[in-house]
Chains A and B, each alone.
Chain A
């Protein structure tokens, strides 16, 4: 093994070690705004937003689709039984954080 190979291998080992430790730590590091927001939705929309009987899943929507649908509930463009009463409680920033969280799980 020449010096270049050795250096490369060393770099890979170092990165791998750092990555593993860091990743393990990050998984536990806290709770994002998106994760907490999604947990509010999941009470009705199923574990991890996977849907529950007649209540639809959220975790397979495109990010834009979720934000646009919630905004349509806010304006009344989309008919609803209950979601208009929920949707108007959230800001665009919150809806984007929520959508990004679900997208990151896909």
Chain B
């Protein structure tokens, strides 16, 4: 270094030193840390994705037991014979390409004091922040014989995969004139419109292939999601009521199913009514996934209470619970809700790790249901955080008495929504 350059260098370093406090302040506020996400569904995959979008310095690990994710949305299309399982199956390569460390293992325990997740494979993962998006577990035994019955004889098809194709195959093997019984669980459960969309798309298959058949929804609930819009669509397309293809029996009128019998293929209500089916879809009662029960993150109702602005668990610091397992005010347990919660949660974590204020929470849900592949309805809502928690501030169900064109548009939007939400998660 010659004399001139040395002098210039000294001056330059002085100038750098003068600006260092400012620069350092910025560098110190860049988000960095280890975040572990448990569960690679709508909540977990979206959260992992947005953590990498918004916090490039964060080390994100996603723990998921399956190597592929098969979505519940559009699985009713598979059951109705309008789509194949491949079309609702997604891999994790996009998340890996974003830098997410995808660990194909089962999270077997959470040590919230030691900030560690243990894996069934034997490893353990340390975390600064933990996101748990574990979904549901079934509450076996609420309906007598439910666990045994759903294995083969009366598939639940409420976790998409082999159960989905099992139910489809049973319907396709049924003779014309047969009865399909659907038994929805008591609220709250994953995907509130799901059982009724399922009835619709099975009816669409039966109408085209086995028109003398019948669908009986034996429901412990007194009302259901998008009820008026479903019933209007059923009336228009399939016939609804005792003389139609679809009949709905509510809880107080004999729908409260207490037991099932595999040998006679019957379901029996609390009042003693028995219904015989040729195909029975028994959807079990639900609770938050067993993992969060064992980790002590659930409340007395079996779901996870969280701060509804941040999704941080009421039971453990630096642990966030999103998706079906959490209590999120007025939001339903849907894939869209889980994705919305995931983005809020990712924003909170990135901000916290950067030492800055998070953005104002904002939430939305959109659930399309298909009454036929060309007839769609929806429920949509925007929510705000208010004193009592996440509160609906706008939205509602598709209005009644719409034209065929509007229903056709909603069916197209349903497919576009599916493409969009899954790309948003996995790319």
Residues of A within 8 A of B (CB): 1, 6, 9-11, 13-14, 17-18, 21-22, 24-33, 35-37, 39-40, 42-47, 52-55, 81-82, 85-90, 94
Contact = CB atoms under 8 A, between A and B. Distances in A.
B211 interface: no
7 contacts: A10-B8, A35-B347, A36-B343, A36-B347, A36-B361, A44-B421, A46-B423
B283 interface: no
Given A30-B358, A40-B363, A86-B394, A45 B420 contact: yes
Among B361, B393, B394, which residue has the most Cβ atoms of chain A within 10 A? B394
A43 B364 contact: yes
A98 to B, nearest CB: 10
The majority secondary structure among interface residues of chain B is helix
Nearest to A46: B420
B412 interface: yes
Interface of B: 4, 8, 11-12, 15-16, 19, 22-23, 26-27, 29-31, 50, 54-57, 336, 339-340, 343-344, 346-347, 350-351, 354, 356-364, 366, 378, 380-384, 393-396, 398, 406, 409-410, 412-413, 415-417, 419-421, 423-424, 427
Contacts of A28: 30-31, 54-57, 350, 354
Contacts of B8: 6, 9-10
Nearest to B18: A14
A35 B299 CA distance: 33
Contacts of A18: 19, 22-23
Contact of A54 (B339, B378, B383, B409): B409
A14 B15 contact: yes
Nearest to B27: A25
A88 to B, nearest CB: 4
Contact of A10 (B11, B357, B361): B11
Contacts of A45: 420
Among B4, B12, B358, B364, which residue has the most Cβ atoms of chain A within 10 A? B364
Contacts of A44: 366, 413, 416-417, 420-421
Contacts of A25: 23, 26-27, 29-30
Contacts of A17: 16, 19, 23
Contacts of A14: 12, 15-16, 19
